[in-house]
Structure formats: structure tokens, C-alpha cells
Amino acid sequence: METLERIIAEHPFFQGLESYYTGLLVGCGANVRFQPGSYIFKEGEEANEFYLIRSGRVALEIFAPQGKPIVIETLEEGDILGWSWLLPPYLWKFHAHAVQDTRAIALDGKCLRTKCEQNHDLGYEVLKRFAQIMERRLEATRMQLLDVYAVR
């Protein structure tokens, strides 16, 4: 059986982090499971965790005025879900909807955030990693916006 520690340490996102900090994360980590159709978090809620998805599919949704959700992106195995816990106002910007039976490791973002404030070296390492994730998402989102398949 895979231990939490091994999964976290081997995940590309955590590569290069000193074992002290991985240990810290493991200490605040837990296996979680979401039933298909359930919401992991909702827009506007306090953001205190982030998730390392192990299996399943999570749809990031935004609600249109008509009340029906628009899926803007889906995340699957290996993806990191959520970074709103890292930056003020620490509130979720989208709904995270488990569209399949989803297993993940929940990590205590609030705890990690506090540690980052105290230890700026750790803070820099964490921000660097999240900056990379954000940059890739931004790039992908911009390409989605381009609507390359549209007839002009």
C-alpha cells in the first residue's frame, strides 16, 4: 500500500522540497474520496485546502445567470486542484465538481500558508511551484479563448 509520504514525495510538484517540509505536509495530509456528483468546494467558500488528485475527474465550473454550470476545465490524475488558499482573499473562485468517483489527497493549505509566512524560503519554493501551475493554466485558458475551431 502506498504511503501518503511516498505519493507526495514522488509527485513532480513536490520534487526538490526538503524532506522536513514534505514531512510537514504529510502530517497535514489525508486521503479523501468524493462521490460522483458531489462538490469538493464552491465559489465563495473559504479556501483552506488543496488537493492532489489520484484518480477520477473534477470539473471546474462557473455558473451562468441562467443558473446552469459551465465547465471551464477538467482535472484528472496527477493534477493539483486549487491555489486560492495561497493568496488573499483565500476564497474559492470556482466550483469544483467531482464528475466521477474521485480520490485525492487533501493537504492543509491554511497550515502550509502559515508556515510560508514564517519561513520565507519555504514560501518562495511553494510560490514558485504554484506559479508554474498558474502559468500553464493561463496559457491553456488563453488558447481556449482563441476559439481556434470557430469559422471566421
Under the phi-then-psi rule, with left for phi > 0, alpha for psi from -120 to 50, and beta for the rest, what region is 50? beta
| Closest distance of CB 35 from another protein, Å | 15
Q: How far is the CB of 152 from another protein (least distance, A)?
A: 4
Residue 40 sits in the site that holds another protein (CB under 8 A): no
Cα distances (angstroms) measured from residue 41 to each of 22, 58, 98, 135 = 25, 11, 10, 22
Strands (E), the chain: 30-34, 39-41, 49-55, 58-63, 69-75, 80-81, 95-98, 102-108
Please name the amino acid found at residue 14: F
Q: Is the CB of 30 or the CB of 143 nearer to another protein?
A: 143
Using CB under 8 A as the criterion, what x/- string covers residues 80-119 for binding another protein?
A: -------------------xx-------------------
Shortest distance in whole angstroms from residue 151 CB to another protein = 5
Q: What is the contact surface with another protein in residues (CB under 8 A)?
A: 57, 59, 68-74, 76-78, 99-100, 139-140, 143-144, 146-152
